[in-house]
Amino acid sequence: MALNRKIAYINLTTGEIETKPIPIAVRKKFLGGRGLDMYLMYNHIKPGVDPLGPDNVAFVSAGILVNTLASASARTHIGGKSPLTGFVGSSNMGGFFAPEMRLAGFDHLVIKGKAKKPVYLWIHNGEIEIRDASNVWGKDISETQQTIREELGDRDIKVLTIGIAGENLVRFANVMTGIKNAGGRTGMGALLGSKNLKAIAVRGTMDIKIAHPVEALEYNRHIIDMVVSAKVSKTQGRLGTPFIWGATNSWGGIRTRNFQTNQFEYCDAIEPEAIDEHVTGYASCFGCQVHCRAKYVIPSGEYAGVYDEGPEYTVQGALTAETGCSDLVALLSGSHLLNSYGIDCLEAGSMIAWAMELYEAGILTDKDTGGLELRFGNAEALNEMIHRVARREGLGDILAEGPLRAAKKIGKNSIKYLIHVKGMSNLHSDERATPALALGIATGSRGSDHLRSRPAIDLYGLPEPVLRRIYSQPVPYDGPLTSHWKDYDGKPWMVRWQEMCYEAVDCIGICKYHTIFLGPNFPNFEEWSRLLYLNTGLELSPLDIWNVADRCYTIERLFNIREGLTRKDDWLADRYYDEPTTRGVPAACGKTIDRKKFTKMIDEYYEHHGWDENGVPRPETLKKLGIDKEPSHML
């Protein structure tokens, strides 16, 4: 059955490996993927451990619907205590790894201890081996995967790996699979690097039995039609995720030159249509019909002729607008370097942009940069700093520590120029004109984020009846809802709802582009309930799935509180409140976040969650969700 995949406990210090079934009772409470990983994290990581020490634990998992007859069911989740923030570490990526891991018999890996020398895991049809990785230590992302496939003699093996950045414990290093599928944010690559775990290779041929295959196949056709018929999906399949860039930049929602302005001018060279001239085709993740991932060849420069995939919208913004660089070749080559080294594009772009502002403000000097002219728009400096961060050379060694540690080392009030939440840099967007999006990044459980709770459809100006139809299911809501993105009223509930939406799909293993993220008529709780039943036989109502998401998100909050989080961490950098936007459409120009109104939004957001005024879950909330006795050590 689709539910009979196991959990494996792997101790890299002792070499011991134990496998267990996952009880149905645990499935009903946490499903799988991110949700079950968060439960395991709260139960297996002791309070206060060093994120880069052997007592931290890494979790790798597949969502419960991965590799079933559910469209876009390909997501891999990686968790642990974050080396970047010290709070929840959680990354999610597409590709083909998680579907293969399920075929090999496993849904969850719990990886403890530290190997004495570099190793990788080899997982195949219910068996797990710890193997020597000395021949791949020091290799980049693509080389590692190819070498392991050749060593094991099977080109169909899927590999999850870290690059040189993870080996060097860059605190925002990625875990990756394929050419560019990245488990970015929170530094899970550094966590695996700290354990001397270079990679996990999987190959499986074990059947996954679908509970109601005929009905599941027919229902999935309905889901596919719902998604691919939408204009947003057609555009995404034509231009990839950079299609978002044009609309966002035109109205004034792009963080430019770190945070000095909110619109990038004279950037035709890096518009999606310009990128498309160098695209050779489009690919997709396992089981997806949208095909949003571009394949490209770098046209000139040092890396001319090199093949890669992307660049995604996030890379586009992080390497161009944030750094003031409108050079297409710099964007494509920079994206390639990030993919090769295994570095979080958002954190890398933000740290380099921050350093550029410090350089232009005179806080960093030529002595600090090793003679590198670290000015906005300097394409050569941009790519050189990617090398230096990955290799921990010079100033790159400081930036590799992430925002708060780097600011502490540099001093000179450099923290004033950071754009972060909880020690994680913001997306390349500017939320000063959009209170709902600002609240989402301020309260995100893993730090400043757009994939934890981003009510992007708030930007569409949808009529209130449409918003009420969306945001009143499966939990009734009769409070205020407003159609304009500049308003504050009703936005806390929208943020809360989207949190539950994104938590749920991360448990299930479906891509967020197949949810109410960019498409207001896309699948949500009603469809997931049906998909779960038809594919796994598990009967959970839409409200049950909401409660699973609520339970899992609350555990994330409990973990963060245990690690020292307080209400002050659910807050934005002062520049959001003190420095108005300077460009964009009239409704976006001259905007700041109103401190008083934002404080009220946070109060309302906490109340919607059943948390007290300090953001601590109330005892009755924990009891209602059935997590008042955690850690329970059921697994």
Q: What does the angle CA 407 – CA 54 – CA 162 come to, to the nearest 5 degrees? A: 70
- Is 524 among the domain residues? yes
Q: Give the C-alpha distances (Å, rounded to integers) separating 363 from 259, 412, 484.
A: 16, 7, 40
Nearest to 191 by CA among 334, 82, 332: 82
Which DSSP string corresponds to 119-178?
EEEEEETTEEEEEE-TTTTT--HHHHHHHHHHHHT-TT-EEEE--HHHHTT-TTBPEEET
- Is 106 among the domain residues? yes
Domain boundary among 407, 425, 443: 425
Q: What does the angle CA 243 – CA 516 – CA 180 come to, to the nearest 5 degrees? A: 50
Position of tokens 């590999």? 159
Same-domain status, 414 and 455: no
Residue 166: what residue type? G
Asked if 570 and 460 touch (Cβ cutoff 8 Å), the reply is no
Residue pLDDT, tens place only, 233-273: 888 878 888 888 888 999 999 999 999 999 999 999 999 88
Tokens coding 193: 């690097």
Nearest to 338 by CA among 376, 305, 382: 382
Q: Give the C-alpha distances (Å, rounded to integers) separating 535 from 73, 88, 161, 513.
A: 12, 30, 30, 20
Could you give the CA distance from residue 312 to residue 317 in angstroms, rounded to a whole number? Answer: 9
With helix as H, strand as E and coil as C, how does 325-388 read? CCCHHHHHHHHHHHHHHCECHHHHHHHHHHHHHHHHCCCCCHHHHCCCCCCCCCHHHHHHHHHH
Position of tokens 């009143």? 472
Same-domain status, 143 and 267: no
Output the pLDDT for position 512: 93
Residue pLDDT, tens place only, 200-228: 999 999 999 999 999 999 999 999 999 99
Output the pLDDT for position 238: 80
Same-domain status, 394 and 463: no
Residue pLDDT, tens place only, 267-298: 999 998 888 889 999 899 999 999 888 899 99
Q: Do β-strands 119-124 and 127-132 pair in parallel, antiparallel, or remain unpaired?
A: antiparallel
Output the pLDDT for position 247: 83
Least confident of 29-38, 55-64, 107-116, 240-249: 240-249
Distance, first Cα to last Cα, the chain: 20
Q: Give the contacts of 134 (CB within 8 A, at least 6 positions apart).
A: 117, 118
- Is 221 among the domain residues? no
Output the pLDDT for position 287: 93
Same-domain status, 605 and 481: yes
- Whole-model pTM? 0.97
Tokens coding 217: 């196949």
Same-domain status, 540 and 393: no
- Is 213 among the domain residues? no
Output the pLDDT for position 23: 97
Could you give the CA distance from residue 164 to residue 167 in angstroms, rounded to a whole number? Answer: 5
Tokens coding 615: 């953001």
Same-domain status, 391 and 304: yes
At what angle are helices 542-562 and 525-536 packed, to 10 degrees?
A: 100
Asked if 276 and 246 touch (Cβ cutoff 8 Å), the reply is no
Domain boundary among 390, 425, 460: 425
Position of tokens 């708030």? 458
Give the three-class secondary structure for 481: coil
Asked if 95 and 184 touch (Cβ cutoff 8 Å), the reply is no
Residue 231 — pLDDT band, cuts 50, 70, 90? confident
- Is 210 among the domain residues? no
Q: Give the C-alpha distances (Å, rounded to integers) separating 476 from 356, 456, 464, 469.
A: 48, 21, 15, 10
Same-domain status, 301 and 370: yes
Higher pLDDT, 232 or 65: 65
Could you give the CA distance from residue 138 to residue 341 in angstroms, rounded to a whole number? Answer: 10
Q: What does the radius of gyration of the chain's CA atoms come to, in whole angstroms?
A: 23
For residue 548, report the phi and psi dihedrals to the nearest 5 degrees. -60, -50
Same-domain status, 303 and 350: yes
Output the pLDDT for position 1: 66
- Is 40 among the domain residues? yes
Tokens coding 477: 């809501």
Position of tokens 């210090």? 13
CATH number at residue 340: 1.10.569.10
Could you give the CA distance from residue 56 to residue 34 in angstroms, rounded to a whole number? Answer: 17
The dihedral formed by the CA atoms of 195, 199, 203 and 209, expressed in degrees to the nearest 10: 60
Could you give the CA distance from residue 422 to residue 407 in angstroms, rounded to a whole number? Answer: 14
Could you give the CA distance from residue 75 to residue 205 in angstroms, rounded to a whole number? Answer: 19
Model confidence at 153: pLDDT above 70: yes
CATH number at residue 11: 3.60.9.10
- Percent of the chain having pLDDT more than 90? 93
Asked if 161 and 199 touch (Cβ cutoff 8 Å), the reply is yes
What domain count does the chain have? 3
- Is 215 among the domain residues? no
Residue pLDDT, tens place only, 584-615: 999 999 999 999 999 999 999 999 999 999 99
Same-domain status, 388 and 450: no
CATH number at residue 574: 1.10.599.10
**β partners of residue 9:** 18, 110
Asked if 419 and 350 touch (Cβ cutoff 8 Å), the reply is yes
Same-domain status, 336 and 453: no
**Mean residue pLDDT across the chain:** 96
Least confident of 446-460, 465-479, 557-571: 446-460
Q: Do β-strands 279-283 and 293-297 pair in parallel, antiparallel, or remain unpaired?
A: antiparallel
For residue 86, report the phi and psi dihedrals to the nearest 5 degrees. 80, 0
Could you give the CA distance from residue 509 to residue 70 in angstroms, rounded to a whole number? Answer: 10
Residue pLDDT, tens place only, 69-81: 999 999 999 999 9
Q: Give the contacts of 417 (CB within 8 A, at least 6 positions apart).
A: 258, 259, 354, 357, 358, 361, 363, 575
Residue pLDDT, tens place only, 528-543: 999 999 999 999 999 9
Could you give the CA distance from residue 446 to residue 184 in angstroms, rounded to a whole number? Answer: 12
**β partners of residue 78:** 60, 91
- Is 214 among the domain residues? no
Same-domain status, 36 and 179: yes
Domain boundary among 367, 401, 425: 425
Position of tokens 């991932």? 293
Same-domain status, 420 and 440: no
Which DSSP string corresponds to 259-309?
TTBS---S-GGGSHHHHHTTEEEEE--TT-SS--EEEEE--SSTTTT-EEE
Residue 172 belongs to what domain range?
A: 6-203
Give the three-class secondary structure for 20: strand
